[in-house]
Structure 1
Amino acid sequence: MNLKQRFSFIFSCLFSVLLATVTLTVYVLFAHFRQDEFAALMTEKAQTTAKLLIEVKEIDYKMQKIIDSNSINKLYNENTQIYNEDYKLIYNSNDTLTVNLTKADLNQIKTKHRIFKKTDPYDILGLYYTYDHKHYYVVVSAEDTYDNSKLNYLKYLLLGAFIIGTTTVWVLSFRLSKRALKPLDNFRQKIQEITDSNLKIRLSEAKREDEINALANSFNQMMDRIDNAYDRQKEFTGNASHELRTPVARIAAQIENLLHRNGLDADTRANLASVFDDTFQLSEIISSLVAIADINSREHHSSFAKLRLDELIYSTVADLSKIYPDFKLKFEIENNTGNETDLEISGDETLLKIALINLFKNAYLYSDDHSLECLIRQENKEIELLITNSGEPPLVEDTATLFTTFYRGSNVKYIAGSGIGLGIVKRVLEYHRSTINYQIIDKNTNQVQVIFPLRNSNS
């Protein structure tokens, strides 16, 4: 669950709980109010009946029944009963709806002077009435159907309001949060476009002063500092690599001249040969650093040209054969379209040749028989390059680690190297929007897969 969903969910839940509390409170308070109002009506009825029947001598029981039955304020299933102080029923307005009260109930009325209780289906009100030093118990019972219908109406009204209100808030909260946090989605998309070769991207800043705009401003300031630091690092790497290149080349040339002199003893010649190999390896590391600096200094692909991948491989193999005379390659091309332009890619010839040299050199050095196979084939809008050799595979859990700069696998044995070659290959291919993968296709059989986009599909 992302930030927008969490914010909307928490806000909607809080609103739902608050609305439920308010609606429930309204219902309970209204129910108590209607109950008190109904009890007041019953109290008024009890007092009126008692006064007419007890205090007015002209009204007897029969006349009081007529008055009760014809009252305009008559309650539903109403019944009024009067007991004397000896707990004897002296008046009952409706003989068919008699509510039987025990002596304990009447004593409770005497103690509290007024009681009200709800039973099924009647509400009962008891009143302790005193007149002319005589005590009476007046009991009124009735069904509150009118008020119950109001409560049911209010219940369904509040329930409908709760459902509509919560549904509206849930929908609006998710939509509004999505709209309010849309700048963060734009920021995320912009940030995903930032790479080490493209540090000039900045987040757009709005005119309004809010937290999102402050975040964009702070991020842009951070990117300015990173860009400046990265530029200084690239400048230092490039300058240092170029400055080291010349003296190392001179040292290698001088050692090579010494090795061609006559009269050197075997130990001296062996030591000079070892120093020459170390110097040559150092020269390769410096050349690799120069290549990395060259990649880092390029911010666009304007230097890309139309290249044929097969011709580039032929040129690379020819250069390697001069250094390693026993280099053997089986080269095949699968092109079912019959169109030679399908092997064309866009790229920088110098950088791609450095990458191919490193790939073929590694395949040669780590091969059991110093031979390898190379296959080019077109797949949809991509060109796939497969380089296969036989040899001990490296022991790594994540094969992507092999393309980490200065990392060397477990199968290096006595093979000299710096571990920087495959790192340069990865950087060059990423610069050309290409991918590289290593896989073990069989026992002691290694394969490197490089996928290039076709020239007409490369932007």
Structure 2
Amino acid sequence: MKIRTKISLLFIFLSVIILFAFASLIYLSAKRDREVQFFARLKKEAVTKANLFFDANVNAQTLQRIYKNNRQTISEVEVAIYDSSFHLIYHDASELDFVKETKEMMHTVFQRGEVQMQKNNWDIIGIKYRYKGKQYLVTAAAYDQFGFIKLQTLFESSVAFFVLSAIMIYIIAYFFALHILDPIRAMTDKAKQISGSNLDLRLVSGPDKDELTELADTFNQMLNRLENSFDAQKSFVSNISHELRTPLAAIVAELELSTSKERSLTEYKSAVENALNDAKKMVRLSNSLLDFAKASYDPTEISFRSIRIDELMLDACLLIQKSHPDYKIDIHFEEDFEDDEQISVNANEYLLKTAFVNIMENGCKFSADKQVLVSIFFEKSGILISFQDHGIGISEKDLEKLFTPFYRGENKMHSEGNGIGLSLTKRIVELHGGSITVKSVKSQGSTFTISLPYHHES
């Protein structure tokens, strides 16, 4: 069921309930007013006729003749008078007797003083009447033809008005829902046009700051993120293809060259070594891509625990010196720490170690002395780690794109690489709630500073 149908049905349902309650209230009020007014008339007629019978001494035949004459033109009130022994003293038309008084009924009237009832749409009232110290019972009954006709007319008019109002309300609600949902329909039509090939399309948001405008803005923001993600993915795949194509082409060329004719053992060994070096490049690239993918996970899917920075830094140094014995890394604590909390961060050990290794390897690789100084500071908000080298430095132009994946600046002439290390490091640091900055002077060296928040036990 479409929303406009739901809105229309809900609107008419609520309106019908309100109309029904209002019409019912009017009808019941009219019915109650008719009863009150008619019973008051019956009581007045009963007292008047009793006064005529007792006080004015109007004989029974005269009263009965008046009653019979009036019945031919109007709904006359039928009156009966009984004594305290329930004997009939007077009756307007005993041969008709619509009331059919019983002893139980008359006994109730004497007990209560006044009784109102209905029988076959006839309204009946019974009252006690005192005359010269004696108690009498007077009953009056009549059919309120005019009142019932008015009620029937009111009922029929209410039903007709109710049905017509329900139809009109449904029509108005349907077109009102169409008008309200026009922006949503336009947004739906526009969204159907958006695909992977035209992610630059956006929904039109109106000038009003309502919920639909907020929805369109939110959807457009999501499209912005998707477009950026698609562009980054395309660039990522393109760069990977380029990085893989070069070593693969070199391996193929070396192997084809070695098989084109008979070679000496030395030449074969040289070809295998060249192919092996290219294969190692591919392995390093694959490992970097895997680490980059891990750092791109949802933080909720990565395991974190409390880790001491000093222990993690020592592990990273041992890992570097194992593969590069000539690299020198000095670790210096600018001040003493008092407890484990001051030296601990909430981190993923593998990823954070990878970030430290990348920075320290870069510092050593581009420095003539193959040395990096690591300084650790303790601040109120967290731990600052500075990595300083005296290498070739980074130009201002390269600083702007330093953390862009696969970007390699002027330093590519000094050492091999794939341009993933620093972008991976930045992503890992941000994943841990930290930040990374760099200062560098050409031919004088670079200083990378990482800020990490403390880990506090909950």
Range of TM-score over shorter length = 0.5 to 0.7
Residue 143 (structure 1) aligns with: 143
- Give 1:152 shift: 0.8
Amino acid at match of 2:75: Y
Matches within 5 A, 1:12-411: 12-57=12-57, 59-68=58-67, 76-98=75-97, 99-262=99-262
- Give 1:177 shift: 0.7
Instruction: Tell me the secondary structure at the aligned position of residue 97 of structure 1.
Output: coil
- Give 1:264 shift: 8.5
- Unaligned 5+ residue runs, structure 2? 283-458
CA contact (8 A) 1:84 1:136 kept: yes
What count of residue pairs does the alignment treat as equivalent? 274
Amino acid at match of 2:218: S
Amino acid at match of 1:31: K
- Give 1:74 shift: 8.3
- Give 1:75 shift: 5.3
Instruction: Tell me the secondary structure at the aligned position of residue 117 of structure 2.
Output: strand
Amino acid at match of 1:76: S
Cα distance in 1 for residues equivalent to 2:72 and 2:264: 136
Amino acid at match of 1:4: R
Amino acid at match of 1:84: D
Instruction: Tell me the secondary structure at the aligned position of residue 180 of structure 1.
Output: helix
Matches within 5 A, 1:430-449: none
Tell me the TM-score normalised to structure 1 length. Answer: 0.55
- Quick check: which has more Rg, 1 or 2? 2
Cα distance in 2 for residues equivalent to 1:74 and 1:93: 16
Cα distance in 2 for residues equivalent to 1:75 and 1:89: 25
Amino acid at match of 2:120: D
Instruction: Tell me the secondary structure at the aligned position of residue 82 of structure 2.
Output: strand
Amino acid at match of 2:219: F
Amino acid at match of 1:131: Y
Instruction: Tell me the secondary structure at the aligned position of residue 126 of structure 1.
Output: strand
CA contact (8 A) 1:68 1:74 kept: no
- Give 1:212 shift: 0.8
- Give 1:67 shift: 4.7
Instruction: Tell me the secondary structure at the aligned position of residue 225 of structure 1.
Output: helix
Cα distance in 1 for residues equivalent to 2:142 and 2:96: 9
Cα distance in 1 for residues equivalent to 2:6 and 2:213: 22
Cα distance in 1 for residues equivalent to 2:70 and 2:96: 17
Cα distance in 2 for residues equivalent to 1:221 and 1:4: 27
Cα distance in 1 for residues equivalent to 2:156 and 2:6: 31
- Give 1:196 shift: 1.0
- Give 1:121 shift: 4.6
CA contact (8 A) 2:42 2:77 kept: no
RMSD: 3.0
The 3 A distance-change label for structure 1 pair 121 and 221 is closer
Instruction: Tell me the secondary structure at the aligned position of residue 76 of structure 1.
Output: coil
Cα distance in 2 for residues equivalent to 1:169 and 1:242: 66
The 3 A distance-change label for structure 1 pair 73 and 219 is farther
- Give 1:37 shift: 1.3
The 3 A distance-change label for structure 1 pair 246 and 114 is same
- Give 1:73 shift: 13
Instruction: Tell me the secondary structure at the aligned position of residue 6 of structure 1.
Output: helix
Deviations 1:209-236 (A, max 9, x none): 2111111122112212222222222222
The 3 A distance-change label for structure 1 pair 204 and 34 is same
Amino acid at match of 1:145: Q
Deviations 1:381-440 (A, max 9, x none): xxxxxxxxxxxxxxxxxxxxxxxxxxxxxxxxxxxxxxxxxxxxxxxxxxxxxxxxxxxx
Cα distance in 2 for residues equivalent to 1:229 and 1:123: 84
- Give 1:180 shift: 0.6
CA contact (8 A) 2:110 2:128 kept: yes
Cα distance in 2 for residues equivalent to 1:40 and 1:258: 126
Amino acid at match of 1:3: I
CA contact (8 A) 2:67 2:76 kept: no
The 3 A distance-change label for structure 1 pair 51 and 264 is farther
> Quick one: percent identity of the two aligned structures?
27
Deviations 1:89-121 (A, max 9, x none): 111122432232121111011112111211115
Cα distance in 2 for residues equivalent to 1:69 and 1:49: 14
